[in-house]
């Protein structure tokens, strides 16, 4: 599989030569500075591509766009959406014109990936991303004050949430808001409490069926263009795979994945298979899902989580946690062979080590939450070892 690395552009403290030192050759990048819904101009795409690929000694390529974001109005289904769909399609055409033909995107309303603790302590002094169910409930019930929020949380979680809130300082509450907002990368509005209430209110009355229909509409609008220009679209699962703050999420379960793939039956309509996002779902059998949907996977995120009975979870080591990573890697290598044998010129699957522990010299550095260099380097090395061993034993192409 193609070893890739998420890079946040020229302001990222992790530099392109560091990516090459890690052993990756593909760069996962986006034009985060361009607001949602605005066309990505060819000139800006070419400028970023030249930045990534200009130093031939590094032998890097811009292999995946993560993400070409979807404007919130499309998820709401509000107003005349023609200009937004037109702009999205034009951005796709411009990317394809520049030779960038893999797009990762998500359909999570309002918030992207969500954690309540960005520096949960690890043995020896490292840190990990963590989702505490009681902190989520404290924010939902006592800070956001969402009507009816209590019904969405277990009684024991509500009790801990009340206790946390009662003793929390204003600094604690401010930090929790900041942590929850930190999953929104690049060009975005970080909401304060009133702003978040207003955004959530725009989805009032929408259930999972309604959001599914808006996702299906998006796919019907853009997949024909993807087919036309040779782009493969890979939707990222919800993270965590459950409703948050009363907002529905529809890319969380095996049934969800089957539904969206059936909505528009096209090779261009595929998945970003994220073992960590899916792994946080209590009822998700991630290795089984990998086998079922392997032929529609276009991009792979490999990370692991450890779940707890109250709904909390923490980012684990890449080969630790609840997901059988060896099984998933084996499935993806077998799928690669199937594609290669079928003559698919794009048979090699791009993957990246997703999220990593903050370790060693990275502790305290201003890296994007979840994206320190050393923790991801450790994860990439571990996965590379699994990949090499499995390929050797089974006679599969790497």
- The structural domains of the chain, with segments of one domain joined by +, span 2-114+201-394
As its CATH architecture, domain 2-114+201-394 has Alpha-Beta Barrel (3.20)
Q: Report how far residue 116's alpha carbon sits from residue 356's, in angstroms, rounded to the nearest whole number.
A: 16
The pLDDT of residue 187 is 46
CA angle 113, 191, 208 (to 5 degrees): 50
Q: Report how far residue 45's alpha carbon sits from residue 91's, in angstroms, rounded to the nearest whole number.
A: 9
Closest CA to 67 of 98, 97, 108, 99: 108
Catalytic residues, by residue number, are 236, 274, 301, 354-355, 371
Q: Report how far residue 334's alpha carbon sits from residue 329's, in angstroms, rounded to the nearest whole number.
A: 9
The pLDDT of residue 78 is 84
Find the DSSP H helices in 57-186: 72-76, 82-97, 133-138, 155-167, 170-181
- Paired residues of 128 in beta bridges: 120
- CB under 8 A, 24+ apart: contacts of 198-204: 199/72, 199/110, 200/110, 200/144, 200/146, 200/245, 200/246, 200/247, 202/72, 202/76, 202/78, 203/75, 203/76, 203/109, 203/110, 203/246, 203/247, 203/248
Q: Residue 237 in contact with residue 252, Cβ under 8 Å?
A: yes
The pLDDT of residue 189 is 61
Residues of the chain with pLDDT under 70: 185-189
| Tens digits of residue pLDDT in 153-173 | 999 999 999 999 999 999 999
pTM for the full predicted model: 0.96
Cis before 94 (ω within 30):
no
The pLDDT of residue 190 is 73
| Tens digits of residue pLDDT in 63-89 | 999 989 999 999 999 899 999 999 999
């Amino acid at each position: 599989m193609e070893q890739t690395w998420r890079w946040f552009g020229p302001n990222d403290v992790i530099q392109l030569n560091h990516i090459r030192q890690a052993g990756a050759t593909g760069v996962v990048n986006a034009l985060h500075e361009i607001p949602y819904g605005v066309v990505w101009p060819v000139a800006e795409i070419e400028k970023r591509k030249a930045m990534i690929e200009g130093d031939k000694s590094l032998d890097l390529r811009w292999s995946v766009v993560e993400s070409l974001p979807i404007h919130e109005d499309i998820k709401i289904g509000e107003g005349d959406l023609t200009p937004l769909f037109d702009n999205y399609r034009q951005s796709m055409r411009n990317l394809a014109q520049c030779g960038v033909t893999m797009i990762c995107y998500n359909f999570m309303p309002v918030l992207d990936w969500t954690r309540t603790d960005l520096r949960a302590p690890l043995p020896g002094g490292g840190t990990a991303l963590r989702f505490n169910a009681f902190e989520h409930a404290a924010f939902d019930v006592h800070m956001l004050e969402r009507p009816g929020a209590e019904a969405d949380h277990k009684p024991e979680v509500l009790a801990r949430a009340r206790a946390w809130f009662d003793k929390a300082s204003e600094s604690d509450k401010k930090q929790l808001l900041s942590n929850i907002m930190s999953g929104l990368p690049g060009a975005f509005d970080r909401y304060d409490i009133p702003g978040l209430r207003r955004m959530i209110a725009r989805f009032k009355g929408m259930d999972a069926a309604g959001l599914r229909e808006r996702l299906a509409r998006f796919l019907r609008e853009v997949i024909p263009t993807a087919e036309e220009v040779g782009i493969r679209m890979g939707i990222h699962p919800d993270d965590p795979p459950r409703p948050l703050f009363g907002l529905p999420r529809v890319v969380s379960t095996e049934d969800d994945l089957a539904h969206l793939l059936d909505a528009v039956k096209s090779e261009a309509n595929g998945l970003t298979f994220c073992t960590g996002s899916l792994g946080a779902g209590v009822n998700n059998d991630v290795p089984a899902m990998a086998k079922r949907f392997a032929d529609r996977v276009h991009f792979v995120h490999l990370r692991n989580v450890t779940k707890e009975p109250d709904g909390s979870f923490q980012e684990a080591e890449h080969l630790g946690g609840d997901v059988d990573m060896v099984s998933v890697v084996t499935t993806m290598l077998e799928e690669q062979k199937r594609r290669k044998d079928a003559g698919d010129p794009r048979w090699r699957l791009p993957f990246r080590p997703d999220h990593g522990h903050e370790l060693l010299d990275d502790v305290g550095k201003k890296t994007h939450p979840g994206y320190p260099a050393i923790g991801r380097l450790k994860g990439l090395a571990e996965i590379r070892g699994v990949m090499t061993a499995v390929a050797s034993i089974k006679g599969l192409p790497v």
